[in-house]
Structure 1
Amino acid sequence: MLYWLSSELTFPPIEEAEEWGGLALGGDLSPERLLLAYRSGIFPWYDIGQPIIWHAPDPRFVMFPDKLKVSRSMRPIFNQQKFTVTLDTDFRSVIKVCQQSRRKGQYGTWITDEMLEAYCYLHKLGYAHSVEVWQEDVLVGGLYGVSLGSIFFGESMFSKVSNASKTGFITLVWELQKRSFSLIDSQVHTPHLESMGAEEVSRKKYMKVLKDALKVSTHKGSWTEWLEM
Protein backbone atom coordinates (compact mmCIF):
# COMPACT_ATOMS: atom_id res chain seq x y z
CA MET A 1 0.00 0.00 0.00
CA LEU A 2 1.35 3.41 -0.97
CA TYR A 3 1.01 6.22 1.55
CA TRP A 4 -0.57 9.54 0.59
CA LEU A 5 1.56 12.38 1.90
CA SER A 6 0.00 15.41 3.55
CA SER A 7 1.43 18.91 3.83
CA GLU A 8 3.38 17.70 6.86
CA LEU A 9 7.09 17.35 6.06
CA THR A 10 7.47 13.64 6.73
CA PHE A 11 7.77 10.25 5.01
CA PRO A 12 6.72 6.77 6.13
CA PRO A 13 9.45 4.25 7.09
CA ILE A 14 11.23 3.03 3.96
CA GLU A 15 10.84 -0.58 5.13
CA GLU A 16 7.16 -0.23 4.18
CA ALA A 17 7.93 0.32 0.48
CA GLU A 18 6.30 -1.97 -2.07
CA GLU A 19 8.33 -4.78 -3.64
CA TRP A 20 8.84 -2.62 -6.75
CA GLY A 21 10.17 0.25 -4.62
CA GLY A 22 7.16 2.57 -4.39
CA LEU A 23 6.64 4.09 -0.95
CA ALA A 24 4.38 7.15 -1.09
CA LEU A 25 2.34 9.45 -3.32
CA GLY A 26 1.75 13.17 -3.39
CA GLY A 27 3.44 15.88 -1.39
CA ASP A 28 5.48 18.45 -3.27
CA LEU A 29 8.91 19.10 -4.75
CA SER A 30 9.93 21.83 -2.34
CA PRO A 31 13.67 21.88 -1.54
CA GLU A 32 12.88 20.98 2.07
CA ARG A 33 10.96 17.85 1.07
CA LEU A 34 13.45 16.82 -1.62
CA LEU A 35 16.42 17.12 0.73
CA LEU A 36 14.54 15.22 3.45
CA ALA A 37 13.77 12.50 0.92
CA TYR A 38 17.41 12.06 -0.07
CA ARG A 39 18.51 12.05 3.56
CA SER A 40 15.91 9.32 4.20
CA GLY A 41 16.93 7.08 1.30
CA ILE A 42 13.98 8.15 -0.89
CA PHE A 43 13.72 9.80 -4.32
CA PRO A 44 10.91 11.00 -6.63
CA TRP A 45 10.24 9.29 -9.96
CA TYR A 46 7.00 9.61 -11.88
CA ASP A 47 5.54 10.37 -15.30
CA ILE A 48 3.59 13.37 -16.58
CA GLY A 49 -0.03 13.11 -15.45
CA GLN A 50 0.80 11.04 -12.37
CA PRO A 51 1.02 12.25 -8.77
CA ILE A 52 4.55 12.45 -7.40
CA ILE A 53 5.70 8.90 -6.61
CA TRP A 54 8.40 8.46 -3.97
CA HIS A 55 10.67 5.40 -4.19
CA ALA A 56 12.94 3.46 -1.84
CA PRO A 57 13.94 0.31 -3.80
CA ASP A 58 15.57 -2.80 -2.45
CA PRO A 59 18.17 -3.58 -3.71
CA ARG A 60 19.72 -0.23 -4.54
CA PHE A 61 22.06 0.32 -7.49
CA VAL A 62 25.19 2.21 -6.42
CA MET A 63 28.77 2.95 -7.32
CA PHE A 64 31.56 2.94 -4.74
CA PRO A 65 33.97 5.50 -6.27
CA ASP A 66 37.06 3.40 -5.59
CA LYS A 67 35.55 0.53 -7.62
CA LEU A 68 35.32 2.55 -10.84
CA LYS A 69 36.31 0.56 -13.94
CA VAL A 70 37.74 2.49 -16.88
CA SER A 71 37.88 0.32 -19.99
CA ARG A 72 40.89 0.28 -22.30
CA SER A 73 38.75 1.76 -25.05
CA MET A 74 38.13 4.88 -22.93
CA ARG A 75 41.79 5.66 -22.26
CA PRO A 76 42.51 7.09 -25.75
CA ILE A 77 39.42 9.30 -25.36
CA PHE A 78 41.05 10.99 -22.37
CA ASN A 79 44.60 10.89 -23.75
CA GLN A 80 43.53 12.58 -26.99
CA GLN A 81 41.30 15.06 -25.12
CA LYS A 82 38.38 14.49 -27.48
CA PHE A 83 36.03 16.25 -25.06
CA THR A 84 36.12 19.18 -22.65
CA VAL A 85 34.41 18.54 -19.31
CA THR A 86 33.06 21.24 -17.00
CA LEU A 87 31.10 21.24 -13.75
CA ASP A 88 28.14 23.47 -12.86
CA THR A 89 28.50 25.75 -15.86
CA ASP A 90 25.11 25.09 -17.50
CA PHE A 91 22.86 23.11 -15.18
CA ARG A 92 19.59 24.10 -16.86
CA SER A 93 20.77 22.99 -20.30
CA VAL A 94 21.88 19.60 -18.97
CA ILE A 95 18.58 18.82 -17.23
CA LYS A 96 16.67 20.20 -20.22
CA VAL A 97 18.44 17.84 -22.63
CA CYS A 98 17.91 14.95 -20.18
CA GLN A 99 14.22 15.84 -20.20
CA GLN A 100 14.08 15.82 -23.99
CA SER A 101 16.08 12.62 -24.44
CA ARG A 102 14.11 9.53 -25.42
CA ARG A 103 15.23 6.10 -24.31
CA LYS A 104 14.31 2.67 -25.64
CA GLY A 105 11.04 1.47 -24.15
CA GLN A 106 10.27 4.87 -22.64
CA TYR A 107 7.26 6.94 -23.63
CA GLY A 108 7.39 10.58 -22.71
CA THR A 109 9.66 11.74 -19.91
CA TRP A 110 9.78 11.39 -16.15
CA ILE A 111 11.45 14.81 -15.85
CA THR A 112 8.34 16.97 -15.74
CA ASP A 113 8.54 20.76 -16.00
CA GLU A 114 7.77 20.88 -12.28
CA MET A 115 10.70 18.59 -11.54
CA LEU A 116 13.00 20.54 -13.84
CA GLU A 117 12.29 23.78 -11.99
CA ALA A 118 12.60 22.08 -8.59
CA TYR A 119 16.10 20.79 -9.37
CA CYS A 120 17.17 24.07 -10.93
CA TYR A 121 16.22 25.67 -7.62
CA LEU A 122 18.24 23.03 -5.72
CA HIS A 123 21.15 23.95 -7.99
CA LYS A 124 20.69 27.61 -7.10
CA LEU A 125 20.79 26.63 -3.42
CA GLY A 126 24.06 24.75 -3.99
CA TYR A 127 22.83 21.16 -3.59
CA ALA A 128 22.27 20.04 -7.20
CA HIS A 129 25.18 19.81 -9.62
CA SER A 130 25.80 19.16 -13.29
CA VAL A 131 28.56 17.75 -15.45
CA GLU A 132 28.82 19.14 -18.98
CA VAL A 133 30.69 17.42 -21.81
CA TRP A 134 31.59 19.64 -24.76
CA GLN A 135 32.90 19.00 -28.26
CA GLU A 136 33.94 22.14 -30.12
CA ASP A 137 31.75 24.26 -27.83
CA VAL A 138 28.69 22.07 -28.42
CA LEU A 139 27.06 20.32 -25.44
CA VAL A 140 27.19 16.63 -26.40
CA GLY A 141 26.81 14.90 -23.04
CA GLY A 142 26.16 15.46 -19.38
CA LEU A 143 24.56 14.40 -16.15
CA TYR A 144 23.11 15.95 -13.02
CA GLY A 145 22.33 14.98 -9.45
CA VAL A 146 22.22 16.05 -5.82
CA SER A 147 25.03 16.03 -3.26
CA LEU A 148 24.67 15.67 0.50
CA GLY A 149 27.48 14.74 2.85
CA SER A 150 29.79 12.35 1.00
CA ILE A 151 27.13 10.94 -1.35
CA PHE A 152 26.24 12.04 -4.85
CA PHE A 153 22.71 11.06 -5.88
CA GLY A 154 22.78 10.68 -9.66
CA GLU A 155 19.51 11.56 -11.39
CA SER A 156 19.93 11.39 -15.17
CA MET A 157 22.49 11.56 -17.96
CA PHE A 158 22.52 11.95 -21.72
CA SER A 159 24.90 11.45 -24.62
CA LYS A 160 24.60 12.85 -28.13
CA VAL A 161 27.83 11.30 -29.38
CA SER A 162 29.59 8.06 -28.51
CA ASN A 163 31.43 8.02 -25.15
CA ALA A 164 30.36 11.53 -24.13
CA SER A 165 28.34 10.52 -21.07
CA LYS A 166 30.99 7.99 -20.03
CA THR A 167 33.63 10.72 -20.20
CA GLY A 168 31.54 13.00 -18.00
CA PHE A 169 30.72 10.28 -15.49
CA ILE A 170 34.33 9.05 -15.18
CA THR A 171 35.57 12.61 -14.73
CA LEU A 172 33.00 13.17 -11.99
CA VAL A 173 33.97 9.96 -10.19
CA TRP A 174 37.65 10.96 -10.26
CA GLU A 175 36.77 14.30 -8.70
CA LEU A 176 34.62 12.64 -6.04
CA GLN A 177 37.47 10.23 -5.27
CA LYS A 178 39.77 13.20 -4.58
CA ARG A 179 37.23 14.51 -2.06
CA SER A 180 36.69 11.17 -0.31
CA PHE A 181 33.08 10.65 -1.39
CA SER A 182 31.84 7.30 -0.13
CA LEU A 183 29.08 6.55 -2.63
CA ILE A 184 27.30 7.47 -5.86
CA ASP A 185 23.62 6.51 -5.71
CA SER A 186 22.46 5.41 -9.16
CA GLN A 187 19.08 4.31 -7.78
CA VAL A 188 18.11 1.60 -10.29
CA HIS A 189 20.12 -0.79 -12.44
CA THR A 190 21.52 0.18 -15.84
CA PRO A 191 23.94 -1.97 -17.89
CA HIS A 192 25.79 1.25 -18.84
CA LEU A 193 26.86 1.95 -15.25
CA GLU A 194 27.28 -1.71 -14.34
CA SER A 195 30.01 -1.91 -16.99
CA MET A 196 31.87 0.82 -15.10
CA GLY A 197 31.67 -0.86 -11.71
CA ALA A 198 28.26 -0.02 -10.28
CA GLU A 199 26.57 -2.78 -8.26
CA GLU A 200 23.44 -3.66 -6.33
CA VAL A 201 23.44 -3.51 -2.53
CA SER A 202 20.69 -4.24 -0.06
CA ARG A 203 18.60 -1.34 1.19
CA LYS A 204 19.89 -2.10 4.70
CA LYS A 205 23.52 -1.70 3.60
CA TYR A 206 22.65 1.39 1.59
CA MET A 207 21.04 3.04 4.60
CA LYS A 208 24.07 2.32 6.76
CA VAL A 209 26.39 3.94 4.21
CA LEU A 210 23.98 6.86 3.84
CA LYS A 211 23.82 7.42 7.60
CA ASP A 212 27.62 7.58 7.85
CA ALA A 213 27.93 9.75 4.73
CA LEU A 214 25.55 12.37 6.10
CA LYS A 215 27.91 12.96 9.04
CA VAL A 216 30.31 14.59 6.57
CA SER A 217 29.98 18.28 5.65
CA THR A 218 28.18 18.85 2.33
CA HIS A 219 30.22 20.26 -0.60
CA LYS A 220 27.60 22.96 -1.10
CA GLY A 221 27.85 25.66 -3.74
CA SER A 222 29.36 25.69 -7.22
CA TRP A 223 31.78 22.92 -8.20
CA THR A 224 32.99 24.83 -11.26
CA GLU A 225 36.51 25.32 -9.94
CA TRP A 226 37.07 21.68 -8.99
CA LEU A 227 38.60 20.81 -12.36
CA GLU A 228 40.94 23.79 -12.12
CA MET A 229 42.52 22.71 -8.84
Structure 2
Amino acid sequence: MAQIRWLGLDDAFPNPFYEEDPDPSVPGLIAVSEKIYPGQLSAAYQLGIFPWYSDNQPVLWWSPDPRMVLMPQNFKCSDSLKKSIRHFCNDSHSQIVVDSDFGAVVRACATSKRKEQDGTWITHEIMEAYTQLHEQGHAHSIAVIEQNQLIGGLYCVSFGGMVFGESMFSRQTDASKLALAALCAWCQQHQVAMIDCQQETQHLSSLGAAPISREAFLRQMQISLNQTNIDITWDFGKDILNHWL
Protein backbone atom coordinates (compact mmCIF):
# COMPACT_ATOMS: atom_id res chain seq x y z
CA MET A 1 0.00 0.00 0.00
CA ALA A 2 1.38 3.41 -1.01
CA GLN A 3 1.88 6.04 1.64
CA ILE A 4 -0.03 9.30 1.62
CA ARG A 5 2.40 11.88 0.29
CA TRP A 6 3.65 14.59 2.67
CA LEU A 7 4.16 17.74 0.60
CA GLY A 8 6.85 20.31 1.23
CA LEU A 9 7.20 23.82 -0.17
CA ASP A 10 8.22 22.80 -3.69
CA ASP A 11 6.46 19.43 -3.98
CA ALA A 12 3.80 18.86 -6.63
CA PHE A 13 0.45 17.24 -5.91
CA PRO A 14 -0.19 13.73 -7.14
CA ASN A 15 -2.65 13.90 -10.05
CA PRO A 16 -5.89 12.09 -9.06
CA PHE A 17 -6.71 11.58 -12.74
CA TYR A 18 -3.80 9.17 -13.08
CA GLU A 19 -3.08 8.04 -9.53
CA GLU A 20 -5.31 6.02 -7.21
CA ASP A 21 -5.91 6.94 -3.59
CA PRO A 22 -2.71 6.13 -1.72
CA ASP A 23 -4.54 4.69 1.30
CA PRO A 24 -7.87 2.89 0.58
CA SER A 25 -8.76 3.13 4.29
CA VAL A 26 -8.97 6.93 3.87
CA PRO A 27 -10.69 7.26 0.47
CA GLY A 28 -10.22 10.58 -1.26
CA LEU A 29 -7.26 11.74 0.85
CA ILE A 30 -4.61 12.63 -1.72
CA ALA A 31 -1.85 14.34 0.25
CA VAL A 32 -0.90 16.11 3.49
CA SER A 33 1.14 19.22 4.17
CA GLU A 34 2.27 21.14 7.23
CA LYS A 35 0.68 24.36 5.96
CA ILE A 36 -0.84 25.88 2.83
CA TYR A 37 2.22 27.05 0.92
CA PRO A 38 2.17 29.97 -1.56
CA GLY A 39 0.66 28.89 -4.89
CA GLN A 40 -0.45 25.55 -3.48
CA LEU A 41 -4.17 26.35 -3.34
CA SER A 42 -4.24 27.47 -6.96
CA ALA A 43 -2.39 24.35 -8.11
CA ALA A 44 -4.68 22.09 -6.07
CA TYR A 45 -7.92 23.42 -7.53
CA GLN A 46 -6.72 23.00 -11.08
CA LEU A 47 -6.21 19.30 -10.29
CA GLY A 48 -9.60 18.94 -8.61
CA ILE A 49 -8.09 18.86 -5.11
CA PHE A 50 -9.23 20.92 -2.13
CA PRO A 51 -8.17 21.32 1.54
CA TRP A 52 -10.45 20.17 4.35
CA TYR A 53 -9.15 19.86 7.87
CA SER A 54 -9.56 21.26 11.38
CA ASP A 55 -7.44 23.35 13.71
CA ASN A 56 -4.49 21.43 15.20
CA GLN A 57 -4.41 19.10 12.19
CA PRO A 58 -1.99 19.15 9.26
CA VAL A 59 -3.53 20.34 5.99
CA LEU A 60 -5.44 17.43 4.45
CA TRP A 61 -5.90 17.54 0.67
CA TRP A 62 -8.89 15.70 -0.84
CA SER A 63 -10.24 14.46 -4.15
CA PRO A 64 -13.32 12.40 -3.23
CA ASP A 65 -14.93 9.72 -5.37
CA PRO A 66 -17.80 10.19 -6.04
CA ARG A 67 -17.82 13.98 -6.30
CA MET A 68 -20.89 16.10 -5.55
CA VAL A 69 -21.69 18.58 -8.32
CA LEU A 70 -24.50 20.91 -9.28
CA MET A 71 -25.30 21.47 -12.93
CA PRO A 72 -26.63 25.05 -12.89
CA GLN A 73 -29.69 24.18 -14.97
CA ASN A 74 -30.59 21.48 -12.42
CA PHE A 75 -30.88 23.90 -9.51
CA LYS A 76 -34.20 23.20 -7.78
CA CYS A 77 -36.04 26.46 -7.35
CA SER A 78 -39.07 25.46 -5.30
CA ASP A 79 -42.32 27.40 -5.19
CA SER A 80 -41.45 28.66 -1.72
CA LEU A 81 -38.04 29.84 -2.92
CA LYS A 82 -39.66 31.61 -5.89
CA LYS A 83 -41.88 33.40 -3.37
CA SER A 84 -38.77 34.45 -1.42
CA ILE A 85 -37.13 35.63 -4.65
CA ARG A 86 -40.14 37.79 -5.55
CA HIS A 87 -40.23 39.31 -2.07
CA PHE A 88 -36.49 39.95 -2.13
CA CYS A 89 -36.49 41.50 -5.61
CA ASN A 90 -39.43 43.77 -4.75
CA ASP A 91 -37.80 45.01 -1.55
CA SER A 92 -36.00 48.28 -2.25
CA HIS A 93 -33.79 47.70 0.80
CA SER A 94 -32.42 44.37 -0.40
CA GLN A 95 -29.53 43.69 -2.72
CA ILE A 96 -27.02 41.10 -3.89
CA VAL A 97 -23.43 42.27 -3.93
CA VAL A 98 -20.53 40.42 -5.56
CA ASP A 99 -16.97 40.66 -4.21
CA SER A 100 -17.70 43.72 -2.07
CA ASP A 101 -16.53 42.31 1.27
CA PHE A 102 -15.06 38.87 0.67
CA GLY A 103 -13.64 38.64 4.19
CA ALA A 104 -17.02 39.30 5.82
CA VAL A 105 -18.67 36.50 3.86
CA VAL A 106 -15.89 34.01 4.67
CA ARG A 107 -16.00 34.92 8.38
CA ALA A 108 -19.78 34.50 8.39
CA CYS A 109 -19.42 31.04 6.80
CA ALA A 110 -16.80 30.13 9.41
CA THR A 111 -18.95 31.15 12.38
CA SER A 112 -22.28 29.71 11.23
CA LYS A 113 -23.52 26.63 13.07
CA ARG A 114 -24.38 23.67 10.84
CA LYS A 115 -26.55 20.65 11.52
CA GLU A 116 -24.17 18.28 9.75
CA GLN A 117 -20.93 19.50 11.31
CA ASP A 118 -19.35 20.11 14.68
CA GLY A 119 -17.25 23.25 14.56
CA THR A 120 -15.80 24.55 11.31
CA TRP A 121 -13.13 23.57 8.81
CA ILE A 122 -12.65 27.26 7.91
CA THR A 123 -9.56 27.94 9.99
CA HIS A 124 -7.64 31.22 10.12
CA GLU A 125 -5.15 29.70 7.69
CA ILE A 126 -7.98 28.86 5.28
CA MET A 127 -9.33 32.42 5.53
CA GLU A 128 -5.93 33.89 4.71
CA ALA A 129 -5.29 31.50 1.82
CA TYR A 130 -8.67 32.12 0.16
CA THR A 131 -8.34 35.87 0.68
CA GLN A 132 -5.08 35.72 -1.26
CA LEU A 133 -6.86 33.74 -3.98
CA HIS A 134 -9.57 36.42 -4.01
CA GLU A 135 -6.96 39.15 -4.44
CA GLN A 136 -5.65 37.20 -7.44
CA GLY A 137 -9.14 37.17 -8.97
CA HIS A 138 -9.85 33.48 -8.39
CA ALA A 139 -12.12 33.53 -5.33
CA HIS A 140 -15.44 35.36 -5.17
CA SER A 141 -18.18 36.16 -2.71
CA ILE A 142 -21.91 36.66 -3.19
CA ALA A 143 -23.49 38.61 -0.32
CA VAL A 144 -27.23 38.83 0.33
CA ILE A 145 -28.00 42.19 1.95
CA GLU A 146 -31.20 43.37 3.62
CA GLN A 147 -31.58 46.68 5.45
CA ASN A 148 -27.80 47.11 5.08
CA GLN A 149 -27.25 43.86 7.00
CA LEU A 150 -25.48 40.76 5.70
CA ILE A 151 -28.11 38.00 6.00
CA GLY A 152 -26.61 35.28 3.82
CA GLY A 153 -24.14 34.44 1.11
CA LEU A 154 -21.48 32.13 -0.24
CA TYR A 155 -17.94 32.12 -1.54
CA CYS A 156 -16.45 30.09 -4.35
CA VAL A 157 -13.33 29.59 -6.46
CA SER A 158 -13.15 30.09 -10.23
CA PHE A 159 -10.61 29.12 -12.89
CA GLY A 160 -11.48 29.40 -16.57
CA GLY A 161 -15.06 28.23 -16.95
CA MET A 162 -14.99 26.14 -13.79
CA VAL A 163 -16.63 27.17 -10.51
CA PHE A 164 -15.86 25.42 -7.22
CA GLY A 165 -18.42 26.09 -4.49
CA GLU A 166 -16.87 26.42 -1.04
CA SER A 167 -19.28 27.38 1.72
CA MET A 168 -22.49 29.29 2.31
CA PHE A 169 -24.36 30.65 5.30
CA SER A 170 -27.79 31.95 6.17
CA ARG A 171 -29.03 34.21 8.96
CA GLN A 172 -32.57 34.36 7.59
CA THR A 173 -34.76 31.81 5.85
CA ASP A 174 -33.67 31.14 2.27
CA ALA A 175 -30.84 33.72 2.37
CA SER A 176 -28.13 31.24 1.34
CA LYS A 177 -30.46 29.79 -1.29
CA LEU A 178 -30.85 33.25 -2.80
CA ALA A 179 -27.08 33.45 -3.15
CA LEU A 180 -26.88 30.00 -4.74
CA ALA A 181 -29.81 30.74 -7.06
CA ALA A 182 -28.00 33.90 -8.19
CA LEU A 183 -24.79 31.95 -8.79
CA CYS A 184 -26.59 29.24 -10.79
CA ALA A 185 -28.36 31.84 -12.93
CA TRP A 186 -25.05 33.62 -13.57
CA CYS A 187 -23.38 30.30 -14.44
CA GLN A 188 -26.07 29.51 -16.99
CA GLN A 189 -25.67 32.92 -18.58
CA HIS A 190 -21.89 32.39 -18.86
CA GLN A 191 -21.89 28.79 -20.13
CA VAL A 192 -20.46 27.42 -16.88
CA ALA A 193 -21.40 23.74 -17.10
CA MET A 194 -20.76 22.55 -13.55
CA ILE A 195 -20.40 23.82 -9.99
CA ASP A 196 -18.25 21.64 -7.75
CA CYS A 197 -19.94 20.99 -4.40
CA GLN A 198 -17.18 18.66 -3.15
CA GLN A 199 -19.02 16.34 -0.76
CA GLU A 200 -22.54 14.97 -0.63
CA THR A 201 -25.01 16.43 1.87
CA GLN A 202 -28.77 16.17 2.16
CA HIS A 203 -29.08 19.94 1.85
CA LEU A 204 -27.16 20.05 -1.44
CA SER A 205 -29.19 17.12 -2.79
CA SER A 206 -32.39 19.00 -2.03
CA LEU A 207 -31.12 21.88 -4.17
CA GLY A 208 -30.40 19.72 -7.21
CA ALA A 209 -26.81 18.60 -6.70
CA ALA A 210 -25.89 14.99 -7.39
CA PRO A 211 -22.81 12.76 -7.12
CA ILE A 212 -20.78 11.76 -10.18
CA SER A 213 -17.64 9.65 -10.44
CA ARG A 214 -14.30 11.31 -9.84
CA GLU A 215 -13.25 10.41 -13.38
CA ALA A 216 -16.34 12.11 -14.85
CA PHE A 217 -15.77 15.14 -12.65
CA LEU A 218 -12.11 15.49 -13.63
CA ARG A 219 -12.92 15.12 -17.34
CA GLN A 220 -15.54 17.87 -17.22
CA MET A 221 -13.29 20.01 -15.03
CA GLN A 222 -10.50 19.87 -17.61
CA ILE A 223 -12.91 20.95 -20.36
CA SER A 224 -14.16 23.83 -18.20
CA LEU A 225 -10.68 24.97 -17.16
CA ASN A 226 -9.72 25.26 -20.82
CA GLN A 227 -12.78 27.32 -21.83
CA THR A 228 -10.91 30.43 -22.90
CA ASN A 229 -13.86 31.66 -24.98
CA ILE A 230 -15.90 32.48 -21.88
CA ASP A 231 -16.05 36.15 -20.99
CA ILE A 232 -16.56 35.93 -17.24
CA THR A 233 -17.20 39.13 -15.35
CA TRP A 234 -18.08 38.65 -11.71
CA ASP A 235 -20.50 41.53 -11.46
CA PHE A 236 -24.26 41.13 -11.06
CA GLY A 237 -27.10 42.23 -8.80
CA LYS A 238 -30.40 40.85 -7.58
CA ASP A 239 -32.06 41.24 -10.99
CA ILE A 240 -30.29 38.05 -12.01
CA LEU A 241 -32.74 36.16 -9.80
CA ASN A 242 -35.52 36.89 -12.29
CA HIS A 243 -33.97 34.01 -14.24
CA TRP A 244 -35.94 31.66 -11.97
CA LEU A 245 -39.32 33.41 -12.16
Q: Who is 2:210 aligned against? A: 199
Cα distance, 1:218 vs. partner? 9.1
Q: Who is 2:20 aligned against? A: 16
Q: Distance in 2 between matches of 1:62 and 1:187?
A: 7
* DSSP-derived class of the 2:115 partner: coil
Pair member with larger Rg = 2
Q: Give yes or no for contact 1:149–1:218 (8 Å, CA) kept in 2.
A: no
Q: Who is 2:55 aligned against? A: 48
1:166 aligns with 2:177: yes
**CA separation of 1:214/1:190 partners in 2, compared to 1, >3 Å: closer, same or farther?**
same
Match of 2:164 among 144, 150, 153: 153
Q: Deviations over 1:34-89 (max 9, x none)?
A: 11111111000000000000000000000111222211111111112254211111
Q: Give yes or no for contact 2:154–2:169 (8 Å, CA) kept in 1.
A: yes
Q: TM-score, normalised by structure 1?
A: 0.92
Structure 1, unaligned runs of 5 or more: none
Cα distance, 1:90 vs. partner? 1.1
Q: Who is 2:243 aligned against? A: none
Cα distance, 1:220 vs. partner? 9.4
Q: Please give the root-mean-square deviation of Cα atoms over the aligned residues, in Å.
A: 2.1
Structure 2, unaligned runs of 5 or more: 241-245
1:134 aligns with 2:141: no
Q: Give yes or no for contact 1:99–1:109 (8 Å, CA) kept in 2.
A: yes
Match of 1:210 among 221, 225, 228: 221
* DSSP-derived class of the 2:236 partner: helix
Output aligned runs, 1:70-109, within 5 Å: 70-81=77-88, 83-104=94-115, 106-109=117-120
The percentage of counterpart residues that share the same residue type is: 39
Output aligned runs, 1:114-133, within 5 Å: 114-133=125-144
Report the count of equivalent residues.
228
Q: Who is 2:123 aligned against? A: 112
